[in-house]
Amino acid sequence: MAVERVGVVGAGQMGNGIAHVFALAGCEVLLTDTSPEALAAAPQVIARNLDRQVAKGTITAEAKAQALARVIPTRELALLGQTDLVIEAATEREPVKTAIFESLVPHLAPHTILATNTSSISITRLASRTDRPEKFLGVHFMNPVPLMQLVELIRGIATDDATFDTAIAIVERLGKTASVAQDFPAFIVNRVLIPMINEAVYTLYEGVGTVTSIDTAMRLGANHPMGPLELADFIGLDTCLAIMNVLHDGFADTKYRPCPLLTKYVEAGWLGRKAGRGFYDYRTGTPVPTR
């Protein structure tokens, strides 16, 4: 099936990025969010990110203008039902995602494919709350979406071949690379990445190293472009904790137990860059370790 009109639910960092790459690939994008402020800010955020690509010479100014014209913000979730593909990119909380899909179902065209950008939650379980589990799958973009090459594709137990083949074609159209994962907690990337971050937090919690020494060790000793605690702040500590809880609940294995210090930071509202403070304090402009 040709996908020309796309709906994106969520105008945060991931939703903006997803709208950006689809619009640049020639699709009309209907973008919605429950927050009027986030929805109003979305075109400006997308424009700034497109400007970076123009400055680097990866796209033309004309391509930027055309892409921006294809992004249509709307407060009406029902309008997304008449698109070819709807991608949910809301917060990593299953009740929120389920409520979105249940609200969408009465308005969907018969051919519309549903997708979730979840980084950890069961595709099969989310699909079961819709009227079309055969046309439902996981399309997990990496952050920041315009820059990252990988898209994880995850089919639920009922996802049919036509839907999956369409998803493969979409990823190719976006100029990205698909990695196919099975529907198990956290799939591939976060199954490996988030426990590593959790272990880095344990290393901090147990006093083995400071924030600075842990991040320096992994940047220079493992050649990681970003230390694990800096990366956790970039992802969002609430998202890291949510994924660890999915792993812990899904496998019932103590090796996935979230570090108490990670939980404490989330309880404090120190969620990382988006909150101005996490393992680093960003409020002065120069990141300063908080431990």
Residues carrying an active site annotation: 119, 140, 152, 190
Cα distances (Å, whole numbers) of residue 162 to 1, 165, 284: 8, 5, 51
Cβ-defined contacts of 245-250 (< 8 Å, 24+): 246/120, 246/121, 246/185, 246/186, 247/120, 247/185, 247/186, 247/191, 247/194, 247/195, 249/185, 250/122, 250/184, 250/185, 250/186
**6 beta partners:** 29, 85
Please give the distance of CA 36 from its chain centroid, rounded to a whole number. 20
Cα distances (Å, whole numbers) of residue 189 to 17, 53, 286: 19, 26, 29
DSSP tally for the chain: helices H, then strands E: 11, 10
- Distance from C-alpha of 159 to C-alpha of 166, rounded to nearest angstrom: 11
Task: Find tokens 């909150």 and name the residue.
Answer: 275
DSSP state, 258? Answer: P
Rg (the chain; Cα; Å): 19
Q: What is the strand order of the sheet 177-181 is part of? A: 71-73, 28-32, 5-9, 85-88, 113-116, 136-141, 150-155, 177-181
- Distance from C-alpha of 121 to C-alpha of 270, rounded to nearest angstrom: 23
